[in-house]
Structure 1
Amino acid sequence: MTALSLSEAQAIVTGALADARGRGAQPLAVIVLDAGGHPVAFAREDGATFFRLDIARAKATGALGMGADTRVLAQRAAGNAAFYQGVAVTVGGEIAFSPGGVLVRRDGTVIGAVGISGDTGDCDEDCARAGLRAAGLLAEEAA
């Protein structure tokens, strides 16, 4: 099976939110996109601010569109601000340069991305990786 299933996406969301509650994180929004950028599962916790789901989606979309986790994109953007500002304009702002957007891979192939927003970028990313572990989809590094 190469596609990201609904049950896997739901497990990612559930696992990420469980991890967030365990660490006392701020209320989060979580979205899981398939490889084509279509939403498969998402949730916004009570108390998560209005824009959090949009930011989470921008993180997941950015990871998919650029082929790298948003932590990597943020590091790249810091060293080449003009280019990445141009990317943001080109894609209508549908990209966020903050940790919390993580690619989902199976056997080295990107099958989707998870995006989380609500706490610090580091916490958002940790929760995303916890969601991947809960779904049995360990965060693989690019080959």
Structure 2
Amino acid sequence: MANLSLRRARTIIRKTLEQGREMALKPLSVVVLDAGGHVMAFEREDGASPGRFQIAHGKAYGAVMLGMPGSAQMQRAEDQAYFMAAVNGVFGGQVIPVPGGILLRDSKGAVLGAVGVTGDTSDNDAAAGKAAVEAVGLVADL
């Protein structure tokens, strides 16, 4: 089973930022959480707004705590707004149900944590994060 070490978390961040620059995205902020929702690492590029930590965290936190990526959360919010409102109440308003919250899975499907990417459009955030997760040998559940 693959694990989510601090070294791997930092590599995911570095590769997400590299992919963002390659895609010519706005300045990104990236957080990696472990399977318990605890912050392992975070970086905010120069020029990224200061509130980006909370957004990146909310994307990743919702993914890991609900076991579903941001895109699935967004669909759930559209289909059952009351459910996502209740979930956000349970988690103290920390869930941001949009793409860019990516579950990190090993090759057998076990959740190892989540990454939250913010700074550009949600779909671009997710694409940059996906490339990074796959570059470190994990499965990105978007």
Q: TM-score, normalised by structure 2?
A: 0.94
Question: 1:3: Cα distance to partner?
Answer: 3.1
Contact 1:88 1:94 in 2 (8 A): yes
1:59 aligns with 2:59: yes
The C-alpha deviation readout for 1:26-80, integer Å capped at 9, x for no partner, is: 1111000111111112100001111111100011000011101011100111011
Cross-structure match for 1:128 = 129
Distance 2:137 2:3 in 1: 14
Cross-structure match for 2:39 = 39
Distance 1:30 1:126 in 2: 13
Contact 1:100 1:122 in 2 (8 A): yes
Structure 1 segments (4+ residues) deviating >4 Å:
none
Question: 1:88: Cα distance to partner?
Answer: 1.1
Distance 1:105 1:138 in 2: 5
Matches within 5 A, 1:58-77: 58-77=58-77
Distance 2:136 2:20 in 1: 15
The C-alpha deviation readout for 1:105-131, integer Å capped at 9, x for no partner, is: 112110110001111010010011011
2:134 partner amino acid? R
Unpaired runs of at least 5, structure 2: none
CA RMSD across the alignment: 1.3
Distance 1:3 1:23 in 2: 28
Matched positions, count: 141
Matches within 5 A, 1:62-141: 62-106=62-106, 107-139=108-140
Contact 1:3 1:34 in 2 (8 A): no
Question: Percent of counterpart pairs with the same letter?
Answer: 44
Question: 1:2: Cα distance to partner?
Answer: 4.4
1:128 partner amino acid? G
Distance 2:15 2:135 in 1: 5
Contact 1:59 1:116 in 2 (8 A): yes
Question: 1:91: Cα distance to partner?
Answer: 1.0
